[in-house]
Structure 1
Amino acid sequence: MTEIRTPRLLLRRWQEDDLVPMSEIHADPEVMRWIADGSTRDLEQTADAIERWEEEWDDEGFGLFAVELLGSGELIGFTGLSVPDFLPEVLPAVEIGWRLGRPFWGQGYASEAAHAALEFALQDRGLDRVVSICQPGNRASENVMRKLGMTLQRETVHPAYAHALHVYEIDLTEYVG
């Protein structure tokens, strides 16, 4: 089982007990504001998502990690890697992403977890390029992308929802661990 420890976090595979706390994160309109069409997700949709995330681990050898606080064991969201099939123009690519519950914003957890996931991508999984995609105006995510050393590579439009997207990128030659 793949696990990564950072000073404050444990990045790990998904467990049955993660469903309810992740569905609570997905039910928060502020958390979901910048995701897809901005819709919240219910328990069943969250269960389907976790199942897809676990399948990606099996199929690709990487995926989205459940992120928990080391001190309390509380699930705070996810970070990790996925194939951005929703945006064919950037393929082939692997995307790094994150989603944390609102109580955990502004404490550096997203940057800490994303840095560990990026290191996993480039050093453990041998990827030579990673992208990250967000809507313009999502300053918090763009700040994390810049902290990771990523740079804006292109502006495009979401093919399903027709809103603008920014695509950031880093390659192994630019990575400073």
Structure 2
Amino acid sequence: MTEIRTPRLLLRRWHDDDLAPMADIDADPRVMRWIDDGSVLPAVAISWRFGPQFWGQGYASEAAHATLEFALQDRGLDRVISISQVGDDASENIMRKLGMEWESETAHPVHGRPLRVHAIDLTEFQA
């Protein structure tokens, strides 16, 4: 099983005992304000979701960078995207830190909410 380690984090596949803590995170309307169900994506996308007690500590940036590096360098993907709802400034800041560039604005196919697509390809990525 693949694991991605950073100085502070371990990214791994789900375990059964992750269900209760994730349910708590998903039940928080502050978290879910910006989250969608992840369907209808046009490419391989990275995203993040943390409980409020972990906000503002750099965990999302750290995890996203490690995941992006894994996708582009270890798995050989040529391109990765990330999608945010318009107004989710925190996520867009992370995307910019990763070197992702704004690519397009669209609407959610079911709910109609405005979305922004950011992308990076292998030639633009700085490890």
Letter in 2 for 1:3: E
**Highest relative contact order (Cα 8 Å, sep 6+), 1 or 2?**
2
Q: Measure how far apart 1:167 and its partner are.
A: 0.2
Percent identity (aligned): 69
**Alignment-derived partner of residue 63 in structure 2:** 113
Counterpart residue number, 1:134: 84
Check if 1:152 corresponds to 2:102: yes
The 8 Å contact of residues 122 and 128 in structure 1, kept in 2 or not, is answered as yes
How far apart are 1:85 and its partner, in Å? 4.1
Query: Which aligned runs of 4 or more in structure 1 are off by greater than 3 angstroms?
Result: none
The amino acid across from 1:115 in the alignment is H
Answering whether residue 27 of structure 2 is matched by residue 16 of structure 1, we say no
Task: Mark the runs of 5 or more structure 1 residues left unpaired by the alignment.
Answer: 38-83
Deviations 1:10-64 (A, max 9, x none): 0011111100000000000000001239xxxxxxxxxxxxxxxxxxxxxxxxxxx
2:86 pairs with 1:86:
no
Higher strand share: 1
Q: Does structure 2 retain, via aligned residues, the 8 Å contact 1:157–1:164?
A: yes
The alignment covers a number of residue pairs equal to: 127
Q: Does the C-alpha gap of structure 1 residues 26 and 85 become closer, same or farther in structure 2, counting only changes over 3 Å?
A: closer
**1:98 matched to which residue of 2?**
48
Cα deviation for residue 86 of structure 1 reads 1.6
Letter in structure 1 aligned against 2:61: S
| Secondary structure of 1:34's aligned partner | coil
Question: In 2, Cα distance between the equivalents of 1:134 and 1:164?
Answer: 9
5+ residue gaps in structure 2?
none
TM-score (norm 2): 0.96
Report the TM-score, using the length of structure 1 for normalisation.
0.69
Distance across 2 between alignment mates of 1:128 and 1:170: 9
- In 2, the alpha carbon distance for the partners of 1:25 and 1:36 equals 14
What's the counterpart of residue 3 of structure 2? Answer: 3
- Within 5 A, what are the aligned runs for 1:39-54? none
Residue 74 of structure 1: aligned partner: none
